Amino acid sequence: MFKYTTSTLKKLEDLCKEAAYELRYEKGSFNAGHCVLEDRRVIVVNQYYTTEARINCLVDIISKLELEPDELSDTSQSVYQKILKQTLAK
């Protein structure tokens, strides 16, 4: 499990950036609270979400993306591996 801190959120945001995804927090009418535009590599998350909800949302999104771990920094690789392990445990 992830700790629900701004530090954890920052690590997830950095991972998205390193994976060449643009992460935006905006208001919108998306049912799941987020939207992923694969063609443009854009992730949009509801701006009104709390830190905990943002972390849960990003973990869910990142677990579904096909990323190349070799292109990530050591910290981001560690976070990505933790996400994959958490997803497999479900």
Q: How long, in residues, is the chain?
A: 90
pLDDT of residue 83: 95
| Spans of all domains in the chain | 6-89
Q: Which helix (H) or strand (E) holds 23?
A: strand 22-26
pLDDT of residue 53: 94
pLDDT of residue 33: 75
pLDDT of residue 78: 96
pLDDT of residue 89: 82
Coil, strand, or helix at residue 20?
Answer: coil
CB-based contact 53:2 (threshold 8 Å): no
pLDDT of residue 29: 75
